[in-house]
Structure 1
Amino acid sequence: MAKIEGFRVKNFRALKDVTIGKLSNSQQARPLTPMTAVIGKDGVGKSSLFDAFGFLADCLRQGVEEACDARGRGGFERIRSQGQAGPIEFEVHYQGEDGGAITYLLFIDLDATRRSYAYQEALLQLFVPFEWQYCYLNLKAGKGFAWSGEKTGEPFVLDAGVIESLERAWSFEFNGGQAEEVELEDPRRLGIATLGALKQHPHIADFRRFIDGWYLSHFAPDAARAMPLAGPQKHLNSHGDNLGNVVQFMEREHPKRFQAILDRVAGKIPGIDRIDCMKTIDDRLVLRFNDKGFTDPFYAQQMSDGTLKVFAYLLLLEDPSPPPFICIEEPENGLYHKLLETLAREFRQHATGTKGGSQIFVTTHQPYFVDALEPDEVWVLTKGADGFATIRRASEDPIVSAMVAEGLPLGGLWYSDYLDAR
């Protein structure tokens, strides 16, 4: 399964210029781990970093202008970093399923009519020894070139494979005869969304599927208490209001997996020995939790936020076709603190499993959750003197790594303000 190795965002809210992991021009940096957590005080930009992934996915699914207005963002001028005049920039560097290192670059700006659009967009692949570059997509204001077919002809020879900016990507010359000139009808739509739907652009299509498969959790316990219309559904949606439908699917199609979930939930929430669905007379689903101490079951509407959240997360991790990337903001909300280390270990076990689980990215302000993590998995977000966010890996401090190696919990160090102070 494809994995994000690095992510850069520039001029997006508090993130004036933030990079996590390895990019195409920083091959010596360590990539993101399968399980990654970002910590920090309130107001440092954790929600902005979470939303940066969501914004990029929304650009693909809805278009650039719609994404700027979606989820209460308030438009381009509201999300561009204060005092900055340049475009909003994104760079996603990930390891494709074929082993190649793929880089996607996107610049978003305002056109002459003050409407946001994709100013520049490129998709490139880097091969060892980092001096051969294939360019699969190269657009400026919706006009440019795209490779068609599986083969790419001769690679581009670049200086150490460094991408200094998208302007440099725009200057690439296409080799061979497989590059075709393209022009999008609407530059507010991404090239990967339009061309990625066509079979003749398989590399673009692969990246489109990768982004489209991201799971950005906006789980709401109240939504999970809803009574949806009956009908099995394979995947949990972002708000969790189809929780009963997914239970119905797992009960029918994967009973052993579902029983394993029940066993794990029972081990974390004492008393619960069965969870199932009941169909009402008007074909709606009611989620039932059976407690060993009571004859009658409890319904989802009666269960605590924490119980529903733990159950939903474990159900998500047991998805038969898991998403390549799961992003969760503050999973600890509503959970008993002693469950947090267990939840973090469940996430890591899924992310690092031999069956190719999802890459998991979380933001958190709960030290108990961080106690279960390693310094290489944790990034510390702080606010710089200019008011914008800065970020560093916890393992970059050798003293922190040494203290954790000696048995001191990482969350405890953070609770004492040790990580923020360094």
Structure 2
Amino acid sequence: MLHTVAIRGYRSLREVVVPLSALTIVTGANGTGKSSVYRALKLLADCGRGEVIGSLAREGGLQSVLWAGPENTGATRRTGEAQGTVRIRPVALELGFASDDLGYLIDLGLPQYAGPRSLFTRDPEIKREMVFAGPRLRPSATLVRRGADHAEVADDAGRGFTELTRALPTHRSVLAEFALPELASVRDRLRDWRFYDGFRVDADAPARRPQVGTRTPVLSDDGGDLAAAVQTILEVGLGDLAQAVGDAFDGAELSVAVHDGQFELQLRQPGMLRPLRAAELSDGTLRFLLWGAALLSPRPPSLMVLNEPETSLHPDLVAPLAAMIRAAATATQVVVVTHSAALREHLDVDGASEIELYKQWGETLIADQTLLTTPPWDWGRR
């Protein structure tokens, strides 16, 4: 299980160290940085897929996502006015996590030289990567370290480091380049994380159209394989989805029709002479079914992150949605980003924690977090 996620230099997140539990609810008013936390977690997951450079480019490049305020906000808090200061640290976007066994840190910075006649002068460079054991980065706990194009691995005796390479491209993560057990463990964990940020439910949404069906233990991001995912859940014998649908829609039953290999979701409601096809379902009903297929996956990930799952749902569906989230949290670690008081109330159970974000002078902070309650974390240095 993840204990800590640390973010420094990303949008309004000048520096936050977030403690995580089995079920973590991230709340706060609009504009306090909830979406930035969600996006930062996605960037961290992209490191495992070797896609973090491309993801930053799609956000407008490193310059557009960097913290825009002063490096140190002490003077701003004293005077009430933002003022530039002399920089002490390099310009950087830094992300990391610590778990029960391993931790990871990546430091992305501005490029120094992209190459002769290269057009990729705005691509960020990976300045540092660290894989470590325990809750925080320490020299004695470091397993793999990378600085620019140089990477090393700790030797078995723990007395020093053995060189892996001196020619690692600065746009390639060390996670993707070597098959060491420590790197493979971190890489596979990051690739396993799942993110769901709402679903399309308009008339042309993929979930409303019949699709060729195969066993689908993981719902896709766009929900296009909803019928196959539901059938997989039903055949595996997970009764939570059928129970949740019945509770939410007065005894309704899910089924899947197959025509020439194409799967189509159906919902039979009491009093109706025929089941309703996915194309006929209301937007709220379809969105609830999509969340059910995502949350009650037969192959739970190590981490699932949900961004405002209550959006566009009727208030009566919030309690059944919360029940599915609680059920998912018994099999996987779940982070829910929301500003719904009703959803937070239904998720207030043992093992759950709430992180409330607020903004001060443009900086996202965690309410009631002090030096004593902040998880241990060390950024190290280049």
Please give the range of the TM-score, normalised by the shorter of the 2 chains. Answer: 0.7 to 0.9
Instruction: State the AA in 2 paired with 1:245.
Output: A
For 2:233 and 2:209, locate their aligned partners in 1 and report how far apart those are by CA, in whole Å.
Answer: 18
- Per-residue CA deviations over 1:300-331 (Å, capped at 9, x if unaligned) read 12212332233233333332221010001001
Instruction: State the AA in 2 paired with 1:242.
Output: D
- Per-residue CA deviations over 1:83-135 (Å, capped at 9, x if unaligned) read 4661001121111xxxx3x221110012124421211100011389x988332
Kept in 2, the 8 Å contact 1:329–1:363? The answer is yes
For 1:123 and 1:379, locate their aligned partners in 2 and report how far apart those are by CA, in whole Å.
Answer: 26
Kept in 1, the 8 Å contact 2:46–2:190? The answer is no
Query: 1:371 aligns to what SS in structure 2?
Result: helix
Residue 143 of structure 1: aligned partner: 150
Query: 2:128 aligns to what SS in structure 1?
Result: strand
- Confirm whether residue 212 of structure 1 aligns to residue 191 of structure 2: yes
Choose the corresponding residue for 1:11, options 9, 14, 27.
9
Residue 121 of structure 1: aligned partner: 129
Choose the corresponding residue for 2:364, options 371, 383, 389.
389
Over 6 Å off, 4+ runs: none
For 2:103 and 2:14, locate their aligned partners in 1 and report how far apart those are by CA, in whole Å.
Answer: 20
Q: Which moved more, 1:232-241 or 1:3-12?
A: 232-241
Kept in 2, the 8 Å contact 1:64–1:118? The answer is no
Query: 1:320 aligns to what SS in structure 2?
Result: coil
Note the C-alpha offset of 1:271. Answer: 4.1
- For residues 127 and 332 of structure 1, do their structure 2 counterparts lie closer, same or farther at Cα, with a shift above 3 Å needed? closer
Query: 1:231 aligns to what SS in structure 2?
Result: coil
For 2:169 and 2:5, locate their aligned partners in 1 and report how far apart those are by CA, in whole Å.
Answer: 26
Choose the corresponding residue for 1:92, options 94, 97, 102.
97
Residue 356 of structure 2: aligned partner: 380
For 2:107 and 2:31, locate their aligned partners in 1 and report how far apart those are by CA, in whole Å.
Answer: 25
Residue 362 of structure 1: aligned partner: 336
Higher RCO structure (Cα 8 Å, ≥6 apart): 2
Kept in 1, the 8 Å contact 2:43–2:55? The answer is yes
- Confirm whether residue 277 of structure 1 aligns to residue 256 of structure 2: yes
For 2:298 and 2:14, locate their aligned partners in 1 and report how far apart those are by CA, in whole Å.
Answer: 38
Instruction: Please show how residues 21-36 of structure 1 align to structure 2 within 5 Å.
Output: 21=19, 32-36=20-24
- Per-residue CA deviations over 1:364-383 (Å, capped at 9, x if unaligned) read 11110111244961111111
Residue 265 of structure 1: aligned partner: 245
Unaligned runs of 5+ in 2: 72-89, 113-120, 372-382
Note the C-alpha offset of 1:232. Answer: 2.3
For 1:218 and 1:20, locate their aligned partners in 2 and report how far apart those are by CA, in whole Å.
Answer: 20
Note the C-alpha offset of 1:51. Answer: 0.5
For 1:74 and 1:127, locate their aligned partners in 2 and report how far apart those are by CA, in whole Å.
Answer: 33
Query: How many aligned residue pairs are there?
Result: 338
For 1:215 and 1:184, locate their aligned partners in 2 and report how far apart those are by CA, in whole Å.
Answer: 32
- For residues 208 and 293 of structure 1, do their structure 2 counterparts lie closer, same or farther at Cα, with a shift above 3 Å needed? same
Instruction: Please show how residues 279-294 of structure 1 align to structure 2 within 5 Å.
Output: 279-281=258-260, 283-294=261-272
- For residues 277 and 341 of structure 1, do their structure 2 counterparts lie closer, same or farther at Cα, with a shift above 3 Å needed? closer
For 2:320 and 2:234, locate their aligned partners in 1 and report how far apart those are by CA, in whole Å.
Answer: 25
- Confirm whether residue 182 of structure 1 aligns to residue 160 of structure 2: no
Kept in 1, the 8 Å contact 2:57–2:123? The answer is no
- For residues 63 and 142 of structure 1, do their structure 2 counterparts lie closer, same or farther at Cα, with a shift above 3 Å needed? farther
Residue 27 of structure 2: aligned partner: 39
For 1:115 and 1:42, locate their aligned partners in 2 and report how far apart those are by CA, in whole Å.
Answer: 31
Residue 417 of structure 1: aligned partner: none
For 1:228 and 1:111, locate their aligned partners in 2 and report how far apart those are by CA, in whole Å.
Answer: 44
For 1:348 and 1:393, locate their aligned partners in 2 and report how far apart those are by CA, in whole Å.
Answer: 25
Instruction: Please show how residues 344-359 of structure 1 align to structure 2 within 5 Å.
Output: 344-351=322-329, 353=330, 357-359=331-333
For 2:295 and 2:134, locate their aligned partners in 1 and report how far apart those are by CA, in whole Å.
Answer: 31
Query: 1:322 aligns to what SS in structure 2?
Result: coil
- Confirm whether residue 308 of structure 1 aligns to residue 282 of structure 2: no
Unaligned runs of 5+ in 1: 22-31, 156-172, 397-422
For 2:166 and 2:326, locate their aligned partners in 1 and report how far apart those are by CA, in whole Å.
Answer: 43
- Per-residue CA deviations over 1:241-282 (Å, capped at 9, x if unaligned) read 211121233344x1x21x442122111221412x2222334x
Query: 1:285 aligns to what SS in structure 2?
Result: strand
Choose the corresponding residue for 2:206, options 203, 215, 223.
223
Query: 2:67 aligns to what SS in structure 1?
Result: coil
- For residues 230 and 91 of structure 1, do their structure 2 counterparts lie closer, same or farther at Cα, with a shift above 3 Å needed? closer
- For residues 142 and 219 of structure 1, do their structure 2 counterparts lie closer, same or farther at Cα, with a shift above 3 Å needed? farther
Residue 48 of structure 2: aligned partner: 60
Q: Percent identity?
A: 23
Residue 401 of structure 1: aligned partner: none
Instruction: State the AA in 2 paired with 1:266.
Output: G
For 1:89 and 1:294, locate their aligned partners in 2 and report how far apart those are by CA, in whole Å.
Answer: 55
For 1:184 and 1:277, locate their aligned partners in 2 and report how far apart those are by CA, in whole Å.
Answer: 53
Kept in 1, the 8 Å contact 2:99–2:134? The answer is no
Kept in 2, the 8 Å contact 1:64–1:117? The answer is no
TM-score normalised by length of structure 2: 0.81
Query: 1:133 aligns to what SS in structure 2?
Result: helix
Kept in 2, the 8 Å contact 1:11–1:88? The answer is yes
Query: 1:377 aligns to what SS in structure 2?
Result: strand
- Per-residue CA deviations over 1:343-383 (Å, capped at 9, x if unaligned) read 334323432x3xxx110001111110111244961111111
